[in-house]
Amino acid sequence: MNKTRKRPTVRLVALLFGMLMLGWLGPDRISAETQRVELRPLHKAPGAIQFSLVYTVDGATPLTTGMGIRIHYNSGAVSELVLSDVFHQGLIVKDPKPKPDLADHDRNPETDLFIVLAWMDIDGRWPHDAALPLTLATVSVVQSPSKDPLRLAVSATSVPAGFSFRGGRT
């Protein structure tokens, strides 16, 4: 066997293993399935704005064990954030109490608080018979009188094995 042909393969395997160990090829980078949650503007009035929180899946597997998300916002621009019309199938967490974003989960230093929602189906059939794209909730924001620009973002608290996550932002 010719050793010159074997070495590039060994080097490639070593390179890919090293990238995996360093986190350059983690599940969020090599997964074929992606859960997406977007913030779509719904209605705007003076001092208030509503968004639809819309869920889709990129890939062949629309049914999963669920997911958990954070909705981030900047407290200087928001006097109240309210969830309504929440998709209840498999809902296990609906925590409207704001928590400080000390770990900067959405990688945006302008957002400083978040609320949490999570859905689960132990049989791996979430969101059941719901058609995609699926509206998970309506997010209503009452803006504060400050001139701070409104910043919203979505990050994941958990995703099913084999899935990555993409969260929307305003």
The pLDDT tens digits of the residues spanning 51-77 come to 999 999 998 888 999 999 999 999 999
Q: Are residues 62 and 107 in the same domain?
A: yes
For residue 56, how many other CB atoms are within 10 A of its CB?
14
Tokens 């913030």 label which residue? 39
Contact between residue 133 and residue 77 where contact means Cβ atoms under 8 Å apart: no
Q: Are residues 64 and 88 in the same domain?
A: yes
Q: What percent of the chain has pLDDT over 70?
A: 82
Cα four-point dihedral sign 96, 100, 106, 108: positive
Tell me the CATH number at 108.
2.60.40
Q: Are residues 6 and 62 in the same domain?
A: no
Q: Are residues 101 and 124 in the same domain?
A: yes
Q: Are residues 11 and 88 in the same domain?
A: no
Domain count, the chain: 2
For residue 104, how many other CB atoms are within 10 A of its CB?
12
**Domain coverage including residue 9:** 1-30
Contact between residue 35 and residue 27 where contact means Cβ atoms under 8 Å apart: no
Averaged pLDDT for residues 46-52: 95
Q: Are residues 13 and 41 in the same domain?
A: no
Averaged pLDDT for residues 83-100: 96
Lowest mean pLDDT among 11-15, 68-72, 150-154, 164-168: 11-15
Q: Are residues 36 and 57 in the same domain?
A: yes
From 159, 156, 158, 154, select the one nearest 169 (Cα to Cα). Answer: 154
Q: Are residues 46 and 11 in the same domain?
A: no
Contact between residue 146 and residue 16 where contact means Cβ atoms under 8 Å apart: no
Q: Are residues 67 and 25 in the same domain?
A: no
Question: Which pLDDT band, with edges at 50, 70 and 90, does 32 fall under?
Answer: confident
Q: Are residues 42 and 20 in the same domain?
A: no
Q: Are residues 73 and 4 in the same domain?
A: no
Q: Are residues 6 and 64 in the same domain?
A: no
